[in-house]
């Protein structure tokens, strides 16, 4: 197919740039911290099996331990109670994992107010300027939060009232889930919901409505500032973990230059 040949030539020749939207994974990669009495995920960890030594003279390898929802990761519908019979990560159709993406940039607003919430009016104003949200595509919500990803405390931005990170209002989450045909929502924060979303009604509306509608989530993205508002294509395949509610994922964007 000449389309695929053109794609490969474009990547080789530089007319298509591949932008990595993924946070590197190590023990310091920020993870969600839920208050008592809730269970929590473990940090990412490497455990050495051998490194060109007695345990394996010619080879180096590790076991890894990680949560499904560690670092840049994919949320499957079954992650939330509103989709308890929904898809797990292994059941997501491969063709849905390569999709167009648009970037809604609210970094300035989030810098001024860490509790900034995206509203329906923001989305419709964006659509007036750039056209409709892509059918079967990702809405990538840029808040500039990726600059904090080197530090767990800065990233979670918690005080005595809990975490303060930007997100999406209840009404807007419902709108994106029920009134748009996006495949999912991608964010730069630790989860798709705002830091204060534990106190919303319903709590965690992005998880509740979007996963409940069979849509997906992508978290802890970076480099969204290197993507155009429209026209990028995102590749975001989770591991096919049978029964998995989520999976770490390498997220790549193809951008025409």
Active site residue 79: yes
Which residue sits closest to Mn ion, CB atoms considered? 69
Provide the CA 133 distance to its chain's centre, in angstroms. Answer: 17
Name the β-bridge partners of 53: 56
The answer to whether residues 247 and 89 touch, using CB atoms and an 8 Å cutoff, is yes
Taking each helix axis as running N to C, give the angle between helix 120-130 and helix 170-178, from 0 to 180 degrees, rounded to the nearest 10: 50
| Cβ neighbours around 59 below 10 Å, total | 11
Tokens describing residue 208: 């509740």
Q: Is 230 exposed, middle or buried (0-12, 13-18, 19+ CB in 10 A)?
A: middle
Q: Which of 79, 150, 164, 198 is catalytic?
A: 79
The answer to whether residues 151 and 118 touch, using CB atoms and an 8 Å cutoff, is no
Q: Which is nearer to Mn ion, 32 or 252 (CB)?
A: 32
Phi, psi of 174 (to 5 degrees): -65, -40
Q: Does 215 interact with Mn ion (rule: CB under 5 A)?
A: no
| Minimum CB distance to Mn ion, residue 192 (Å) | 7
| Cβ neighbours around 155 below 10 Å, total | 23
| Minimum CB distance to Mn ion, residue 68 (Å) | 7
| Minimum CB distance to Mn ion, residue 45 (Å) | 18
Q: Which is nearer to Mn ion, 189 or 254 (CB)?
A: 189
Q: Which is nearer to Mn ion, 156 or 254 (CB)?
A: 156
What is the footprint of Mn ion within residues 75-114 (CB under 5 A)? 75
What is the footprint of Mn ion within residues 60-79 (CB under 5 A)? 69, 75
| Minimum CB distance to Mn ion, residue 32 (Å) | 7
Name the β-bridge partners of 247: 74
User: Total residues contacting Mn ion (rule CB under 5 A)?
Assistant: 3
Select from 7-15, 59-67, 105-113, 246-254 the region that touches Mn ion (CB under 5 A).
246-254
Instruction: Using CB under 5 A, list all residues that contact Mn ion.
Output: 69, 75, 246
Q: Give catalytic residue positions.
A: 79
């Amino acid at each position: 197919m000449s389309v695929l040949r053109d794609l490969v030539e474009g990547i080789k020749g530089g007319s298509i740039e591949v932008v990595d939207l993924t946070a590197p994974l190590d023990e310091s990669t920020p993870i969600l911290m839920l208050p008592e009495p809730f269970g929590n995920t473990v940090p990412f960890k490497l455990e050495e099996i051998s490194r060109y030594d007695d345990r394996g003279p010619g080879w180096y390898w590790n076991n890894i331990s990680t949560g499904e929802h560690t670092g840049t990761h994919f949320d499957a519908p079954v992650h939330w109670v509103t989709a308890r019979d929904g898809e797990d990560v292994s059941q997501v159709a491969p063709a849905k994992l390569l999709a167009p993406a648009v970037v809604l940039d609210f970094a300035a607003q989030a810098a001024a107010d860490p509790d900034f919430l995206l509203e329906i009016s923001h989305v419709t104003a964006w659509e007036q300027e750039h056209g409709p949200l892509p059918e079967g595509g990702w809405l990538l919500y840029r808040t500039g939060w990726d600059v904090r990803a080197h530090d767990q405390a800065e990233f979670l931005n918690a005080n005595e009232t809990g975490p303060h990170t930007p997100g999406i209002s209840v009404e807007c989450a419902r709108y994106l889930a029920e009134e748009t045909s996006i495949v999912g929502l991608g964010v730069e924060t630790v989860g798709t919901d705002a830091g204060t979303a534990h106190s919303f009604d319903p709590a965690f509306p992005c998880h509740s409505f979007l996963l409940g509608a069979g849509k997906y989530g992508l978290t802890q993205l970076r480099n969204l500032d290197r993507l155009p508002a429209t026209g990028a294509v995102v590749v975001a395949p989770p591991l096919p973990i049978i029964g998995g509610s989520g999976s770490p994922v390498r997220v790549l964007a193809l951008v025409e230059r």
